[in-house]
Amino acid sequence: MHKNIFRISFFIVVLIFWSGTLQAQVKICSWNLQNFGKSKSAAEIQFVANTLKEFDVVALQEIVAGYGGAQAVAKLADELNRTGTNWDYIVSDPTVSTPYGTERYAYLWKTSSIKRVKRAWLEDNYVQEIDREPYLLDFNYNGELFTLVSFHAIPKKRQPETEIKYFKFFPEFYAEKNLIFLGDFNIPQSHTVFNPLKKMGYESVFKDQKTTMKMKCVAGECLASEYDNIFYDTKNSGLQASGVVHFYRNFPDMKAARRISDHIPVWAEFYFGEEKDN
């Protein structure tokens, strides 16, 4: 009798835990891939695919604007499809920037769980104020909609806060959308330019997490600056888990690792809608 009660209780606990793990687990990754284009070899693209295959949606920055950038993303999607899961992708037009600053963005996603909604677009409302205008795309996960805003800011020496300050207008302009800002901001989340978003209920996934790679590791420290991050609206999204990928540990030295990128991937797992309210 007692054994049966124990078995039933254990089964209920396991069922509850298992049901909980099935709640909206959208795993989103952002990665600045540093001049991703024709200079990347087939082996390097395969390495990138193996690094990204566990995520549901991937936002990439710094895709080469000229010949080779879009083709490299297509090759990456092909490699991801070889991992046993179907992926789709989209590449932006070149950003409206200075000739040496223009680049493309890209999104890749697993088609089994994520659906693209309509067309992606480069945000042109602040095209004169923002050098590399953000790239937006609406996604549907189990009927829940969310919008990624991928961004690569100008370098720190050019004061990226002069661009990022315009993000405070996005939540009102896109009031019907669940916005998630992600990318390479070239300043840490502690900068006051993010305060307006934070006052609206947005939070950064990472705090005090360095994401750019040094030329050489010094005393075991291989990362330099806290630049890459993800900002989400706590009213519409719940954070399930997060992390970074120290991919450089797979290489003999930082010089070899930096052939892939000088940034590490950052990721977050979100849940939406009713599941967030429960």
- pLDDT at position 7 is 52
80 falls within a domain: yes
220-267 pLDDT, tens digit each: 999 999 999 999 999 999 999 999 999 999 999 999 999 999 999 999
Q: Tell me: pLDDT of 203 over 90.
A: yes
5 falls within a domain: no
8 falls within a domain: no
Instruction: Please give the helix or strand (H or E) that residue 50 lies within, else none.
Output: helix 42-52
- pLDDT at position 251 is 97
Q: Are 123 and 96 in contact (CB under 8 A)?
A: no
Share the mean pLDDT of the chain: 91
47 falls within a domain: yes
68-122 pLDDT, tens digit each: 999 999 999 999 999 999 999 999 999 997 777 899 999 999 999 999 999 999 9
19 falls within a domain: no
- pLDDT at position 13 is 40
Question: Domain containing 159 — which CATH number?
Answer: 3.60.10.10
> 20 pLDDT band (50/70/90 cuts)?
very low
Radius of gyration of the chain (CA): 20
180 falls within a domain: yes
The residue range of the domain holding 151 is 24-271
What's the rounded mean pLDDT across residues 45-68? 97
6 falls within a domain: no
64 falls within a domain: yes
Least-confidence region, from 7-21, 44-58, 175-189: 7-21
Q: Tell me: pLDDT of 2 over 80.
A: no
Instruction: Determine the 3-state secondary structure of 231 from DSSP.
Output: strand
Number of domains in the chain: 1
